């Protein structure tokens, strides 16, 4: 018997003004930082709670994501904005091993805790879309695509095993037509 196809739904993403609204909503610095970091690096919730202090390289401006889905490591850029926020957060909260301390037996924050943070802070905004914590990751990929980053680079940043997984964002991104032209027109410099 043939397997039934899964429903193909497009991801729901935040627009940029909704993100600014969401990131302003938390009263706790830790909550503001975790939400902003997830968007800024396109993290899965499990990746966010598994981050250690040693995974953040402020000098090289990178975040090392270790043994994520498919047991792969990857390195993503560290935003200048989030770097400033992380420095402020680290000096205020003094995390030890994990970037986000929590009540799990090993001292980490929990995925349920992250879901609670976004749910509670969405209530403080006028965002009425059916969004979740993973919508921050979808928004990251879509906004990179809209900013002109090529799909192969986005695939690597997200840690996708297959390009077909990343291509869903082509249906969501609003990309202005690039003006089709003949390559002969750009072969010779204009005088």
Which residues are designated catalytic?
44, 69, 134, 137, 160, 169
Q: Spell out the residues 6+ positions from residue 128 whose beta carbon is closer than 8 angstroms to its own.
A: none
Q: Which two tokens stand for residue 59?
A: 């000098």
Smallest CA-to-CA distance from 51 within 13, 86, 85, 16 is with: 86
CA torsion sign for 14, 121, 114, 78 is positive
131: left (phi over 0), alpha (psi -120 to 50) or beta: beta
Contacts 24+ apart (CB under 8 A), 82-85: 82/33, 82/36, 82/37, 82/40, 82/41, 83/58, 85/29, 85/32, 85/33, 85/36, 85/37
Query: In angstroms, rounded to a whole number, what is the distance separating the alpha carbons of residues 20 and 82?
Result: 13
């Amino acid at each position: 018997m043939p397997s039934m196809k899964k429903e193909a739904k497009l991801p729901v993403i935040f627009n940029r003004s909704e993100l600014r609204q969401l990131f302003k909503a938390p009263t706790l610095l830790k909550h503001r930082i975790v939400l902003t970091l997830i968007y800024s690096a396109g993290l899965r919730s499990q990746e966010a709670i598994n981050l250690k202090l040693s995974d953040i390289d402020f000098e090289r401006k990178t975040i090392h994501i270790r043994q994520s889905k498919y047991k792969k490591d990857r390195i993503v850029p560290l935003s200048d904005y989030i770097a400033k926020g992380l420095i402020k957060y680290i000096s205020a909260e003094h995390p030890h091993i994990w970037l986000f301390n929590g009540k799990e037996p090993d001292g980490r924050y929990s995925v349920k805790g992250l879901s609670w943070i976004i749910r509670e802070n969405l209530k403080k905004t006028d965002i009425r879309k059916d969004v979740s914590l993973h919508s921050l990751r979808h928004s990251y990929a879509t906004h990179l695509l809209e900013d002109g980053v090529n799909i192969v680079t986005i695939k690597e940043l997200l840690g996708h095993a297959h390009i077909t997984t990343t291509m869903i964002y082509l249906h969501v991104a609003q990309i202005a037509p690039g003006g089709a032209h003949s390559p002969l027109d750009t072969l010779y410099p204009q005088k």
